[in-house]
Amino acid sequence: MAILHGWRTCPRCGSLLANHGARAVCTACGSIYYANSAPCVSALVEDEAGRVLLSRRAVEPFLGLWDAPGGFLEEGEHPADGLRRELLEETGLAGEPDRFVGVWMDVYGDAPDAAATLNLYWTVRVGEGEPEAADDVAELRWFAADELPAPDELAFTTVKDALAAWRALPERRAGVHRLSAGRDREERL
Ligand SMILES: [Zn+2]
């Protein structure tokens, strides 16, 4: 497991570790270190037109590519609280998790010690207000479901997978259908 890649001494006491990859045990103080996947939360923010808000990354990994607002959970933090916090930090928007979209495994970049990540996605409804990009976000933009960035312009493989799952959500498809029916009616009037 990559998170313990290169670990040779105990961070607590400095003695030698027996590093088994998924687990490292200190030969002196007995501390045990586990290589778990890091939990992350991501928001698929939708507007009333059925578009989704994506953020262009201003930091590595995948600098310049499109991502969903979100990030790593803090220790002891509930995923719903982490989702609200990350959304507010990155976009300035207050929002509530709505529909759980799914969970996907990924890796945070391609360095030898890159953390394996466990990624939870929700659709999110936001209140009034325009999204404003934070420092680690180059740009925020709304995308219609049939005008998403090309696969090679998306950051993590989980973003591609989550957007595909989002497009296939039955209630989203029903919502889009209602919107198009509404447009047809307006055109006829
Ligand atoms: Zn130790």
pLDDT tens digits along 164-185:
999 999 877 666 545 544 444 4
Interval between CA 109 and ligand 1 midpoint (Å)? 29
Model pLDDT, residue 134: 87
Gap from CA of 173 to ligand 1 centroid (Å): 55
List Cβ neighbours of 121 (8 Å cut-off, separation of 6 or more). Answer: 41, 42, 43, 44, 68, 100, 101, 102, 103, 104, 158, 162, 165, 166
Considering the four listed CATH numbers 3.40.50.300, 3.30.365.10, 3.40.50.720, 3.90.79.10, the one that applies to the domain covering 38-179 is 3.90.79.10
Distance 56 CA to ligand 1 centre (A): 41
6-31, pLDDT tens digit by residue?
Answer: 999 999 999 999 999 899 999 999 99
- Taking residue 44's Cβ as centre, other Cβ atoms within 10 Å add up to 25
Residue 187: the pLDDT is 45
Average pLDDT over residues 48-63: 94
Please give the C-alpha separations between residue 74 and each of 12, 39, 83, 188, in angstroms, as whole numbers: 21, 9, 11, 52
Rounded distance between C-alpha atoms, residue 19 and residue 115, angstroms = 17
Q: What is the pLDDT at residue 143?
A: 97
The C-alpha atoms of residue 121 and residue 173 are separated, in whole angstroms, by 18
- Sole residue written with tokens 């990350």: 86
Whether residue 102 is predicted with pLDDT greater than 60 in this model: the reply is: yes
pLDDT (0 to 100) of residue 173 = 67
Q: Report CA(17)–ligand 1 centroid distance (Å).
A: 7
Q: How much distance in Å is there from the Cα of 29 to the middle of ligand 1? A: 4
Neighbours of ion ligand 1 (CB under 5 A): 10, 12-13, 15, 26, 28-29, 31
* Structural domain boundaries in the chain: 2-34, 38-179
From 107-111, 147-151, 160-164, the region with the lowest mean pLDDT:
107-111
Q: 30 CA to middle of ligand 1, Å? A: 6
Could you check whether the bond before residue 11 is cis, i.e. omega within 30 degrees of 0?
Answer: no
Report the pLDDT value the prediction gives residue 178, as an integer from 0 to 100: 53
